Amino acid sequence: METYRQEHPELSAELERRIAGRLPAGWQEHLPAYATDVGTSATRARSGEVINALARVIPELVGGSADLAPSTNTTIPSGGDIGAGHWHGRNFHFGVREHAMGAVLNGLAAHGGLRPFGATFLVFSDYLRPALRLSALMQLPVIYVFTHDSVGMGEDGPTHQPIEHLASLRAIPGLTVLRPADGNETAAAWRTALESDGPSALILSRQALPGLPTDQVHVGGAVIADGDQATILATGSEVHVALDARDVLAARGVGARVVSLPSLERFRARPASEHDQLVPPQRPTVSVEAGATQGWHEFADAVVGIDRFGLSAPGSEALAETGITAEDVANAVLATLDR
């Protein structure tokens, strides 16, 4: 190794950096930043932009999907493909075998020198749960990209619409679950995942979402819009439902704060004083998320969620049918205020 260092100082330094698990200096500067008035885009699409921006400066970033790369936006176009006898690529084609994908990702992370990610639909996270559980048990820095994150995905219907999956992933010790609401939160989620010592799960939308009216991104929670009578907590696409609910409440003379909580684990880990700054304890709090309500009662006085299976319909109709609308959230807030 000493001879190699002398003969190839730059290559040896790069090899030792990767084996040590250190990311290249200044890599964060290459994360995309989006204007707050940018047009609508699915967070899965923003994630694909982040992957390719970072792939140019983090050569050890490699990954693939369980035969869903076009849908999960996880291809590195300039990366080349891994195949038998062809090991110089960066894109893995795992096939429809989520558990094997998770096992391979664990092996790559345990070996070191690479930062692996793997992707599938959120509802299929059940198929790789034993491998994901080992990622958490061994604290391996594997990044799981789960797209099509709610009934908002639409017509594929209840077999493909996740309900209980967010709650079940959050129940895994040592796993950081990240559900961003727009491009800037998606970039911040990738940064959090790459800086984490253990595994992370990025939960991304199929449907297009507008940019948030703020570029203040904190993965542990941020005030998106303020009000002084109640607080609405939300993640992912439901942050936009919460903002619409705030408008409904304003028309009825009620001021509501909207707080985005991309990661409940990160929020929970913050000091109590910061909790109180984000979510004033003297005001009633309502949460909204298009998934099982289990776990949200820790944070909210009233919970708007989905404790039933979905239905085959366009995403907006499925959300309305399952009670994830601005009116539903506004009515829950008014109920906490006895109005």
Domain CATH number, residue 299: 3.40.50.920
Mean pLDDT of the chain: 96
Confidence of residue 37 (pLDDT cuts 50, 70, 90): confident
- Predicted confidence (pLDDT) per residue in 113-157, tens digit: 999 999 999 999 999 999 999 999 999 999 999 999 999 999 999
Indicate if 178 and 277 belong to the same structural domain.
no
pLDDT tens digits along 40-76? 999 999 999 999 999 999 999 999 999 999 999 999 9
Cβ contacts of 168-175, under 8 Å, gap ≥ 24: 169/125, 169/132, 169/201, 169/203, 170/264, 170/265, 170/295, 171/295, 172/132, 172/133, 172/136, 173/136, 174/136, 174/137, 174/139, 174/198, 174/199, 175/132, 175/135, 175/136, 175/199, 175/200, 175/201, 175/265
Structure tokens at 149: 């994150």
pLDDT level of residue 218 (50, 70, 90 thresholds) = confident
Q: What is the CATH number of the domain that holds 171?
A: 3.40.50.970
Segment 154-176 shows an average pLDDT of 96
Q: Is there a single domain that holds both residue 228 and residue 317?
A: yes
214 in a structural domain: no
Q: How far apart are CA 144 and CA 98, in angstroms?
A: 11
Expressed as residue numbers, the domain containing 317 is: 222-336
Predicted TM-score of the model (pTM): 0.96
Is residue 339's pLDDT more than 80? no
- Indicate whether 316 and 177 sit together in one domain: no
Supply the residues annotated as catalytic.
Answer: 98
* Domain end call among 176, 203, 230: 203
Percent of the chain with pLDDT over 70: 100
**Together in a domain, 169 and 274:** no
pLDDT at 215: 78
Mean pLDDT of 183-192: 96
Q: Regarding predicted confidence, which is higher, 219 or 200?
A: 200
β-pairing, 222-225 with 256-260?
antiparallel
196 and 98 within one domain: yes
* pLDDT interval class at 220 (50, 70, 90): confident
According to DSSP, residue 246 is labeled H
* pLDDT above 90: residue 286: yes
Q: Is the pLDDT of residue 80 over 80?
A: yes
Per residue in 83-107, pLDDT (tens digit) is 888 888 999 999 999 999 999 999 9
Residue 121 in any domain: the answer is: yes
Is residue 217 one of the residues assigned to a domain?
no
pLDDT at 192: 96
Query: 72 and 117: one domain?
Result: yes
What total of structural domains would you count in the chain?
A: 2
Same domain, residue pair 98 and 142: yes
pLDDT at 193: 97
Question: How far apart are alpha carbons 182 and 187 in whole angstroms?
Answer: 9
* Lowest-pLDDT range of 51-65, 76-90, 158-172, 195-209: 76-90
Same domain (yes/no): 233, 199: no
Average pLDDT (233-252) is 98
Query: Does residue 281 register a pLDDT over 90?
Result: yes
Residue 107 placed within a domain: yes
% the chain with pLDDT above 90? 93
pLDDT at residue 39 tops 80:
no
What digits encode the pLDDT tens for the residues 204-213? 999 999 999 8
* Inter-residue contact 221 to 163 (CB < 8 Å): no
